[in-house]
């Protein structure tokens, strides 16, 4: 049995410890906001927070994060009012939307390290893939979220 703490709730799970966290979150816990995109930590659709750090959950064994604080998009806020979510809404960022849970989780962790990000910081720190090409709007939303976080 593995003890997993996700969005503040403890779960006891009978699961192989090498199972990627992604599939545990999606199929055992039913939290499908975290998406499967590549399975090799390339695209970032599956980004969650582990102890506050952004991680690509498709390549994290669930056994390695037992007991740690895991946050998924569903746990980012109870009302979709996290500053990053508000900024995403204001900039009308998502198109197909499939990568956006991961983008938002990546941006939230990024902004903790870079509360006043430059474009160069964003280039270096935001590496998730969006096939719809929403990058200019993601960039604008990150700048907007940085401002919102100071209000």
Partner 1 sequence: MDGINTSSSLSRRQFVVTAVTAAGGFAIGIGPARALPIAAQPWSPEAQDAHELNAWLIIQPDDTIVIRYPRSEMGQGSFTALPMMVAEELEADWSKVKAEFASANRNLREDLVYGKDMSSVGSHSVRDSHQQQQQVGASARVRLVMVAAKRWGVDPATCEAKLSKVHHKPTGRTLGYGTLAADAAKIALDKEPDIKAPEQFTLAGKPTPRLDVPLKINGTASYGIDTKLPGMVYASVIACPVPGGTLKSVDDAAAKSMRGVEAVVPLDNAVAVVADRFWRAKQAAHALKIEWDLGPGGATDSAQFAKDYRAALDGPGARARNDGDVDAAMQGPGKKIEAVYEVPYLAHAPMEPLNATAHYRPDRLDVWMGTQNALGTLRAAAKVADLPPEKVFIHNCFAGGGFGRRSANDEMNQAIRVSKAVGKPVKLVWTREEDIGQDRYRPQAAVRMKAVLAPDGTIAGWEMKTAVGSLLRSLGASKVETGIEPMAVEGLATNPYIVANTRVDCVLKNTHIPVSFWRSVGNSQNGFVIESFVDELAHAGGHDPYKFRRAMLTGKEDWLKVLDTVAEKAEWGKKMPSGKAQGLAILEAYGTIIGQVVEVALGPKGEVKVERIVMALDCGHAINPLTITEQMEGAAIWGLSAALYGKISVKDGRAVETNFDTYPVVRMADAPPKIEVHFALTGGKKWGGIGEPAAAPLAAAVCNAIFSITGKRIRQLPIRDADLTGPV
Report residue 140: phi and psi, to 5°. Answer: -65, -40
The DSSP-derived string for 5-33 is EETTEEEEE---TTSBHHHIIIIIS--TT
As measured in angstroms, the least distance from the Cβ of 47 to partner 1 is 12
Site for partner 1 in 50-79 (CB under 8 A): 72-74, 76-77
- Residue 2 binding partner 1, by CB under 8 A: no
- Residue 94 binding partner 1, by CB under 8 A: yes
- Residue 128 binding partner 1, by CB under 8 A: yes
CA–CA separation, 109 and 106 (whole Å):
5
- Structure token digits, residue 7: 């969005």
From candidates 47, 57, 71, 100, binder to partner 1 by CB under 8 A: 100
- Residue 13 binding partner 1, by CB under 8 A: no
From candidates 52, 53, 67, 96, binder to partner 1 by CB under 8 A: 96
Long-range contacts of 36-43 (CB under 8 A, 24+ apart): 37/98, 37/99, 37/102, 37/129, 38/129, 42/129, 43/99, 43/102, 43/128, 43/129
As measured in angstroms, the least distance from the Cβ of 67 to partner 1 is 21
From candidates 4, 70, 99, 109, binder to partner 1 by CB under 8 A: 99
CA–CA separation, 92 and 32 (whole Å):
22
In sequence order, which residues have a C-beta less than 8 Å from that of residue 75 and are 6 or more positions away? 6, 7, 8
Per-residue DSSP letter, 61: B
Q: Between 28 and 69, whose beta carbon lies closer to partner 1?
A: 28
- Residue 104 binding partner 1, by CB under 8 A: yes
- Residues at the contact surface with partner 1, assessed by CB under 8 A: 16, 19-20, 23, 27, 30-40, 42-43, 45, 72-74, 76-77, 80, 85-90, 92-101, 104, 119, 122-124, 126-139, 148
């Amino acid at each position: 049995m593995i003890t997993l703490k996700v969005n503040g709730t403890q779960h006891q799970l009978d699961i192989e410890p090498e199972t990627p966290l992604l599939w545990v979150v999606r199929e055992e816990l039913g939290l499908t906001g975290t998406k499967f995109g590549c399975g090799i930590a390339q695209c970032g659709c599956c980004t969650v927070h582990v102890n506050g750090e952004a991680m690509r959950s498709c390549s994290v064994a669930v056994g390695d994060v037992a007991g740690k604080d895991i946050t998924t998009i569903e746990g980012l806020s109870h009302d979709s009012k996290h500053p990053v979510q508000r900024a995403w809404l204001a900039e009308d960022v998502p198109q197909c939307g499939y990568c956006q849970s991961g983008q938002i989780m990546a941006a939230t962790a990024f902004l903790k390290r870079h509360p006043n990000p430059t474009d160069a910081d964003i280039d270096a720190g935001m590496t998730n893939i969006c096939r719809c090409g929403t990058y200019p709007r993601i960039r604008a939303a990150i700048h907007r979220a940085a401002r919102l976080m100071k209000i």
